Every structure is written in structure tokens, then in C-alpha cells.
Chains A and B, each alone.
Chain A
Amino acid sequence: MKEKIISIIETYGKTPERLMDILISVQEEFRCVSEEAVSLIASELGISEADVNQTKTFYHFFTTNPVGKYSVYLNNSAVSGMMGVAEVADEFEKQAGINFGQTSPDGLISLHYTPCIGMNDQEPAALINSLVFTELNREKVRKIVADMRDGKTVESMVDEYGDGNNAHPLLKAMVKNNIRKPGPVCLGEYEVGKGINKAMSMEPKAVIEEVKSSNLRGRGGAGFPAGLKWQFCAQEKGDRYVLCNADEGEPGTFKDRVLLTERAPMVFEGMIIAGWALDAKEGIIYLRYEYRYMLEFLNSVLDDLRNKNLLGKNILGKGFDFDIRIQLGAGAYVCGEESALVESAEGKRGEPRNRPPFPVQKGYLDKPSIINNVETFCSAVKIVENGGKWYKEMGTEESTGTKLLSISGDCKKPGVYEVEWGMTIKEMLDMVEAKTTQAVQVAGPSGTCVPPSQFDRQIAIEDLNTGGSMIVIGEDRDLIKDVVLNFMEFFEDESCGSCITCRSFNMILRKQVQRVVDGKAIKPDLDNMLEWGKIMQNTSRCGLGQTAANPIATTITNFRDLYELRVKDVEFQSDFDLEKAIAESCEAVGRPPHVHE
């Protein structure tokens, strides 16, 4: 073990900045990062064990004890719940003879839950040894576990490949693209290298101006003008970095998965164009571990670009050097937040930074950096190719161009749709053939739960903004239990905890929703939840804490009657249960509790 770990550490240059990669390799090699391994890594890197542990314990794919020879990470997000994950989980437990959270005594199988893995259009889905298994049901689970017992490799358990590049020899994934509606920008015609050639025939400044003129706004959710971000970064001195955010962690979004599968060269091309525009030194794409199955494929695409002289040294003979490396994550939603992403790419805990300074000033390794979403880079390629004016003709005044929507939940045609900004929710529901819709969750848990009375609102940054996640919630769903509670459990688990308000209020609020679901809440609890959520929103450091009360706030506002049906109509109740409080001591002295009312 020792030699292997030392050689892993050496592969990554023996520097703490690559601690993530080291931990990932060790976890994959030994199915855990044991205390022994931690100790060795610490001494080799010259940092304390506590320091190694603090990175290790931040990410949920790192474990101290070995996971099974087959580790099953089953998605338990809201949509997976709607599609029947409970049955699938039950069957896994039955077949494996263990509960979730356990490893079988023979070390063969371990069962774990994990939040959204970017497969909401084909749930229930799981990662088994980092390969994706979709559309699971009891029968498939029985087969999977039988295969495990027969000692089959996970690769050979994938018996059917998805469409497009999913069948590529380096992907061999059962994932389906589900591209329901290609559009003119990201999922339209595309020719490798055209954008780079055009960009590099222009002055870097002119490239930035072109992107600015398109009014392209970030597609990761926050909607910051991309051209402006590039300009700010270009103004800073020092080595510059171009980072691509492929963390796609917001439950319900999966469009970046499709872009990475079908438009990988385009994503990289966008990064290279940005590299040219900023005269950057290096590019990093931060890929969530859930998309680990694409790693070899994506590396081959990078090699391809290098062979075409579109990446690497002296690109297109213009003396421009720029290369891209892939940084894997290891399971932490907050790492999609740009400054947390930077911390993580530096080998640390994914804790969002305080701002100022902003990443454009001090980003990766404290150097000026831009971070953009996968789709933003793809859009930039087309903008450079066809001009900002062409782009601006699509969409609305404030939200120009097209947007990829990842639509899932209770509808007939879940999948990826490239639409012009400005579509109404009603039009969207018709498009996906949804019937009897109770609500649409726009922009994932951190977004808005929209009631039917607002279905004429527009999908646009100025009205209903979204990074792409659109979850259709049918009439028969228990909105509070199946959706709101699930989302709050998600935030409670995913808060980095480094700002106390986000850590605690998520715990407090999740419990309050649980009380509502359990029928134990009282009327004043509702306004309290709204008020406490406001405090979390106003005092938390990053977008996670600032939006984590949204599931509660938007449903209490838009679906108050659902709550009122479940809460007791009293102003006060004591939560103190005397009988319960003295139960333990009664048992100790052997007397039954005797409480006078």
C-alpha cells in the first residue's frame, strides 16, 4: 500500500494543491482513504493529519472504511423519489441483505444514498463504482446484485448503451441524451475549431467586445454578464486562469452532462477562446465526480484538440500556449459555487470565500480567474463565430439567446430542450406534455416553486431565472413532504457549515418542516419559518445559505393552504414532554413515570 500511495503522490507533483487528486486516486485504488493513508499523505506533503482530514471529510465520496467491492450510490433526490426510488432502495436492501449506509460483511456490496447525480430525466439512477445505472426498477436491481455475486465487472453489467456519444468506446454508458429540442446555439450545427480560428484572427480585446455585445449572461444560475467578467479579469495583472464549472450540482439539472457528452470539443473551445481573450496561462475544468464516467472520454477529446494544434503549445502557430486539465470533484454541491470550486481545485475544503476579493481579482492560486458555466462557454463559441448581433436577435431584451432547460418530473417528455429565453411556463408544460401540474420548481431547490396561477410568467433572467433545472410536480404529489422536506434535507447535508448561519438555520428549518409533515407544527411556526429563513438569507456568505430557505419561503407564500391543513390552529404549545424527559431516570430507579397533568 505504501509504495502505491507514494507513487500516487508523486504523480501529482507531491504538492498539497493536488490533494484532491491524491485522495481520489487513493479512494479509487483502496476503496477508502484509511487513517494510515492519511498519515502517510500528511507526512509526504508536510502538512498535518488534521489538514488532510479536513479536506477528506468534506467530500462524501471519500470514506475512512472501505466501501464495498461494488459501491452503490443511489440518488435520493426529489425527482428520484417521484420515479420510485423507494422501491429500488428496498430491493437493493433485500438483495444485498444490508441497509443503506452499510457494507456487507463479506465486503462485496455497500449501499449509500447520494443527492442528484444529474440523471433526473432517467431516474431512479445510481452510480455503481462510478458507472451510471439508470431507470432502475426491482427487476433490474435483482439482476445487478446477481451479477455482483457472480463477480462480473461493472463495465460488463452495462448491457445497453445510450444514444450518440454515450456509445463511444471510451464512454460506454447506458445514459440517454434525451435531447428533445436542439436549438441554434449549443445543440445546433457545430464544427470543431471554427470558433478558435475566428477568435484568433481577432485581437483579444475584440473577442471580449464581441461577447459583451451579445449580452450573454452566465448560464450557471447567477446570470452575470460574461463579457464583463472577461473584461474585469483581463484588466488584472498576473497569470490568468480560465475555469469551467462542470459541477452541475443543482438538483434537476443535467444539461451540462449532455453538452459534455455531445459538445465536449465546443466546451473546451470556449475555454480556449476565453484563454486567448484573456491571455491566460491555463484552463481547468472542474468536473463533478458524478460525471467521472466521462473522464477518459473527455481526456481523449483534449488529446484530439492538441493533435489538431487547437490546444497546447503554440496554438495555430500564433505563439499562444494554453492547456486544460480536468479537476475532479468528490461529492459536494457547494463546490459549484465559484469560489468554493476554486478552493476545491486547490486541494482544500470547498468552502466559499469571502468577497471581496472576487475571483476575477484573486481566484485560482490567488491569480485573476474567470469561472464560467459549461453552457456559457458553448454559447461564447457561437457568438464569436456568428457575431453578437446574431445572438441578440434571440431571446428577450434582457436575456438574449437561448437557454438549455433540463426538464424532469411529472411529464411525458423529460429531457433537454434548447429554447429561446422568454418562453412561458405554460408553453413549457405543453412542450413536455405535462398534465395536471400542481407546481413547477424553477431553478432547482434554490429557486422558486411556481403555482398554476403564475404559469404565464416567462422563463427569463428578469422574471423566472434558471440555471436550467425545471421540475414538474404533478397533482398527486405531497408537495411539502416529497419536495420541500427533500430539498431542506439536501441543504442541511450540503451546507459547508463554514458560515454558522447557513449551517444552523438549515438544521433548524429542516426540523420545522419535519414538524409540519409530522402534524406537530402550530400556526405561528409558519411565519417563524419565513422570518428565520430571512435571517439566513441576509446573513449567509454564499448563494447556498442565501437561497436555502427558498423551498420553504416560496411554498408558504404560494401554497399556504397546504401548510394550514397540516398545522394545529393554536397560538402556543409546549414542546416539553415531561413523561419523555423523565423516562430514562424512571427506568434507572425502576419506577413507572407518574405525571400529574
Chain B
Amino acid sequence: MSEKVKFTIDGKEYEGEKGRLLVDVAAENGVYIPVLCHWKDVKPAGSCRICTVKVNDRYMTACTTPIDANMTVENKTPELEDIRKAIVEMLFVEGNHFCPACEKSGDCDLQALGYLYQMMVPRFPYAFERRELDAKSPKIFLEKNRCIFCKRCIRMIKDDKGRSFFAFKGRGKHLEITIDEKLAANISEELAQEAMKICPVGAILRKEVGFSTPIGQRKYDKVPIGSDIEVLQK
């Protein structure tokens, strides 16, 4: 039996099933908490930190926090919104993002958050890291310049034996996303498409297909990110 608990977000009371993740329950109630690495029903990575909220006055990531009775959650406060904006800016300076030349433009969650938080010039100095583009696999471009290390591909794209196509390499400043050359040689059309879809940015791209949806008609071209959730607000 599932237990219902009451908790508040920004002063408003909500109800949800104890133990479910805050970010999901919030979304179902029309409260948008931004995410970049989270994917519903997939084991959370907690890697992008964009969903940082305050729970009972402590910083927590909403995508890893199960809800419990009497939780007091702060979400859309100026302080938290600035932290999120800072994280978006940080992602823009640590990678190399030239949106006008990117196939994901308009469908990209990072770009959309940049607009949402009205990022103008990042407050941090650009890193101009040199990163590679890996085009060895027959169906996929891995454009490492745009990877934000969300681990969605690592967690979600597996072969029928449960082996991962994608994996991290190195750590810290040497961290990079890689694709297993041998496995990727035989990746199916569907899985390659899926990989591109779940990547929040333009780091995983399909070969030989591109711009099938024209710029201007893409996901975030007309409505800001999160608006699909916010319409559910009761």
C-alpha cells in the first residue's frame, strides 16, 4: 500500500506518494523544477545539479530526493534561480556550444534553459577546452564539445545483454564521454535514434539524417522549457 504524504513547495501544499522522487511529483502537480540529467523511471544520476532545491533549509537535488511528510521545499526563489542560472552559464563556458551551427538547436534543453534564465554573458571565463568529435561509429556522431556529462546515454542505452554503448573515460578535468567502438558498429537504427533523443544537448547526433524538423518548428521554438509542466498547475 502506498502512503500519501503532504508537503509544501514555495509555501503551497501538495500531496504525493511517500518515497517517490520530488521532481516527478512536483511535475505531476504542475510545478516545474528544471532538469538536465533526470529521466523519469531511470535510476537518478544527480549529476547536473540544476534541480537543486532547498528541503527543510538544506540544499538537495530534487531528482534524488524522495518525498516525505512535512517536507518544506523551496523551489522558485531568487537564490535558487540564480544558482540554476549560474549552472547553465557554467555549462556554456566549460563546453563549446555554437548553437547556430548545432543540429539540436531548438530541441536542446541546455539552450532552452539559457533562454529561460535569460542568460546574456556568462559570469565565468570561458574554458575553451579542446575536445574531440568521435565519428567512428557508423550511425552516430559523438560531439564531445557539447556533452554536459548527464549520463543519460550511459544509463539508458544498452544492448540486449545489458552492456553499455556509452561510458565515461577519465575523471575530473579529463572526463569525457566515449562510445564503445565494437558495440556501436552494430547499433540498431532505433537505438541510435533513441540515443539522440535522450541526449539533452547536441552531443549525440545521427549520421545521414539531419534537420528533419526545420528550425523554427522545434520543441522550444514556440514555448519555453517547462511550460508543458506548468500548464498542469491546478
Contact = CB atoms under 8 A, between A and B. Distances in A.
A57 interface: yes
B171 A57 contact: yes
A462 B159 CA distance: 52
A53 B44 CA distance: 22
A47 B165 CA distance: 10
Interface string A528-540: 1000100100111
Contact of A541 (B46, B87, B149, B175): B46
A183 B93 CA distance: 52
Interface in B85-108: 86-87, 90-91, 93-94
Contact of B161 (A46, A494, A501, A503): A46
B180 A354 contact: no
Interface in B145-167: 148-149, 151, 159, 161, 163-167
A57 B170 contact: yes
Interface stretch (A139-147, A377-385, A505-513): A505-513
Interface in A528-568: 528, 532, 535, 538-541
A541 B44 CA distance: 13
A353 to B, nearest CB: 9
A497 interface: yes
A354 B87 contact: no
B71 interface: no
Contacts of B175: 497-498, 503
A538 B149 CA distance: 19
A58 interface: yes
Interface string A164-182: 0000000000000000000
Interface in B120-175: 123-125, 127, 148-149, 151, 159, 161, 163-175
A441 interface: no
A82 B59 CA distance: 38
Given A50-B167, A508-B124, A535 B86 contact: yes
A48 interface: yes
B172 A53 contact: no
A499 to B, nearest CB: 5
Nearest to B66: A356
Given A50-B165, A499-B46, A349 B125 contact: no
B171 A492 contact: no
Interface in B1-60: 44-49, 52, 59
Which residue among B45, B124, B161 has the maximum number of chain A CB atoms within 10 Å of its CB? B124
Contacts of B191: none
A493 to B, nearest CB: 6
Contacts of A349: 168, 171
A411 to B, nearest CB: 32
B61 interface: yes
A332 interface: yes
Contacts of B178: 50, 53-54
Contacts of B222: none
B90 A497 contact: no
B64 A354 contact: yes
25 contacts: A46-B163, A47-B163, A48-B164, A48-B180, A48-B183, A49-B182, A54-B167, A57-B169, A349-B171, A354-B44, A354-B61, A356-B65, A492-B173, A496-B172, A497-B170, A497-B171, A497-B173, A498-B151, A500-B48, A500-B49, A500-B91, A503-B173, A504-B91, A538-B52, A539-B87
Interface of A: 46-51, 53-54, 57-58, 332, 334, 349, 354-356, 492-501, 503-508, 511, 528, 532, 535, 538-541, 575
